[in-house]
Structure 1
């Protein structure tokens, strides 16, 4: 149950990262190199957060077995 709350918070944070990502991509003042440098950390954060959700679900599944 607590995992659901954590998962919701993580997904909300991912939405914010995606908004920030789109702002950077749509910024006409930045060149391609600057956009890549600005978006790489956002993409990494998103991947880490998605992996965290997977890990939480795995732990939850294993705890229900035991």
Structure 2
């Protein structure tokens, strides 16, 4: 069953959905931390953070710990 094309497609879709949720969660957390540190963020800053890939979001989150 695990070798079937349908199974593999369902698995791939599930992994992609999980990754999207992970990025959304990370993005939300970073925006909340930034807002807590510096106050209301300008729309341009929010948009730039929202456009960051996961790795850069993670780096920004870690950098906020030292900020």
* TM-score, scaled to structure 1: 0.50
Q: Which has the higher contact order (CA 8 A, sep 6+)?
A: 1
Higher helix fraction (1 or 2): 1
* TM-score, scaled to structure 2: 0.49
